């Protein structure tokens, strides 16, 4: 029996297998390993392998530097809470008051799509280029739609910077709750800024066309 337990403890897991066993995203486990928080072995081919004993240890001790299972979803949830609370307190924002109910529904639908893209972008587990192109496309679509409804660029940018500020507020406060290290915190804020700036530029360009 002891020999079987010893053999099991020395078995190695792939990144996906270890992440599944911990119930975290592979990108999260990859960051833990890169930060030195998790014992990892690298094959001659450059693939990460995780000892079962180390993964089982982590199952009972999730105090690594980035212990948020899904930074992207936590960021989006916090940003939406911030935005809803701010709008409830200040329902007279001009950019919100000027929209009818149909327009609000359309904007909410686009907003959910944007948040979904942002969630994927900050997780760092996908190729950046397609998501940046999607951000550009969403910016152009948002700009074209709002311009077609008679909104001026100033009002549109006010609306977008309002939500950008709520997202950045969440990005600043999230690392403390998730116990992210300083480098991970900087990467998160930088990626949020990159994504949102891309959208803002595309919105402005759509008004110029």
Please count the residues of the chain. Answer: 209
pLDDT per position as a tens digit, 94-121: 666 667 777 777 777 888 888 888 988 8
How is the beta sheet containing 48-51 ordered, strand by strand? 12-13, 48-51, 41-42
Q: Which candidate, 53, 63, 82, 40, places its Cα nearest to that of 171? A: 82
Pairing of strands 48-51, 41-42: antiparallel
pLDDT band at 179 (very low <50, low <70, confident <90, very high): low
pLDDT band at 7 (very low <50, low <70, confident <90, very high): very low
Mean pLDDT of the chain, nearest integer: 80
Protein fold of 71-208: Globin-like (1.10.490)
- 42-53: average pLDDT: 89
Where do the structural domains in the chain lie, given as residue ranges?
2-60, 71-208
- 14-28: average pLDDT: 82
> Which class in CATH covers the domain with range 2-60?
mainly alpha
Ranges 2-6, 104-108, 110-114, 202-206: which has the least confidence: 2-6
- Phi, psi dihedral angles at 206 (to 5 degrees): -65, -30
Q: Which candidate, 159, 160, 139, 117, places its Cα nearest to that of 209? A: 139
pLDDT for 100 equals 73
State which of 20-29, 41-50, 117-126, 172-181 shows the largest mean pLDDT.
41-50
């Amino acid at each position: 029996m002891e020999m079987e337990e010893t053999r099991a403890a020395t078995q190695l897991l792939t990144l996906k297998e270890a992440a599944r066993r911990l119930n975290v995203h592979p990108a999260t486990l990859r960051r833990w390993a890169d930060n030195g928080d998790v014992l990892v072995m690298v094959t001659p081919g450059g693939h990460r392998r995780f000892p079962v004993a180390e993964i089982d240890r982590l199952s009972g001790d999730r105090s690594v530097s980035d212990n948020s299972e899904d930074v992207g979803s936590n960021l989006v949830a916090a940003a939406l809470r911030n935005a809803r609370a701010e709008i409830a307190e200040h329902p007279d924002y001009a950019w919100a008051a000027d929209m009818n109910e149909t327009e609000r529904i359309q904007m909410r639908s686009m907003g959910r799509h944007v948040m979904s893209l942002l969630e994927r972008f900050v997780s760092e587990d996908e190729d950046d280029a397609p998501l940046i192109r999607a951000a550009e496309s969403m910016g152009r679509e948002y700009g074209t739609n709002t311009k077609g409804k008679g909104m001026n660029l100033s009002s549109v940018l006010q609306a977008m910077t309002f939500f950008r500020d709520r997202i950045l507020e969440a990005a600043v406060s999230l690392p403390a709750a998730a116990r992210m290290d300083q480098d991970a915190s900087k990467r998160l804020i930088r990626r949020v800024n990159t994504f949102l700036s891309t959208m803002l530029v595309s919105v402005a360009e759509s008004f110029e066309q």
